Structure 1
């Protein structure tokens, strides 16, 4: 699923996968979130409601550039470093094509439907 993403007002190439959680995220678009650092590995922000976790794929470890959803807290996570080992509560939703430095400094993300 193609989306349009901007980090701090600058465009980034990105896609969402076809998981139920990613499709649920798409229903919230357009969405702008303030991001904060979490453990020097990811930037996190909170959508207005929790996403579905039904039909979640097998867990996999997040990698730099992945946009993921952490179900227990209801937050989106933008990884700028490889994440922890596979965790059933962390659902990878898509990927952003941006350098780790840019991802690590991001303070605001806007996700919109692709035109």
Structure 2
């Protein structure tokens, strides 16, 4: 599934992977979230419901552009820098263009939605 992420006047593109956690996230869309900086590595935001962790690995080492779900806190985490393995981190997708829009320590408001298919 392709995602469109609007951040100010910039549009970022991403894909969601085909796993139960990603599918659960897709069911919440469209979403408007405030992503705040965490550890100068990622942008995080709480979600209004916990996502399934069915068939998810125990953890994940994140890379630039990874869209993840951090199960212990129930939040979305978007990485703009690489990060070490973290227990409870689940990869749900990847930013395919525009990751530089998140390379700021300021909080950012984003609208995330599924990309509509072109006819």
TM-based fold match above 0.5 = yes
Unaligned 5+ segments in structure 2 are none
Q: Secondary structure at the match of 2:49?
A: coil
Unaligned 5+ segments in structure 1 are none
Aligned to 2:93: 94
Tell me, yes or no, if the aligned pair for 1:36 and 1:43 is still in contact at 8 Å. yes
Aligned to 1:67: 67
Measured on the aligned residues, the alpha-carbon RMSD in Å equals 1.6
Aligned to 1:22: 22
Q: TM-score, normalised by structure 1?
A: 0.89
Q: If each structure's strand is expressed as a fraction of its own residues, which one has the higher value?
A: 2
Separation in structure 2 between the aligned mates of residue 82 and residue 11 of structure 1, nearest angstrom: 22
Q: TM-score, normalised by structure 2?
A: 0.86
Does the C-alpha gap of structure 1 residues 57 and 9 become closer, same or farther in structure 2, counting only changes over 3 Å?
Answer: farther
Separation in structure 1 between the aligned mates of residue 102 and residue 87 of structure 2, nearest angstrom: 24
Aligned to 1:56: 56
Aligned to 1:7: 7
Aligned residues: 113
Give every structure 1 segment of 4 or more consecutive aligned residues whose post-TM-superposition deviation is greater than 2 Å: 57-60, 97-100
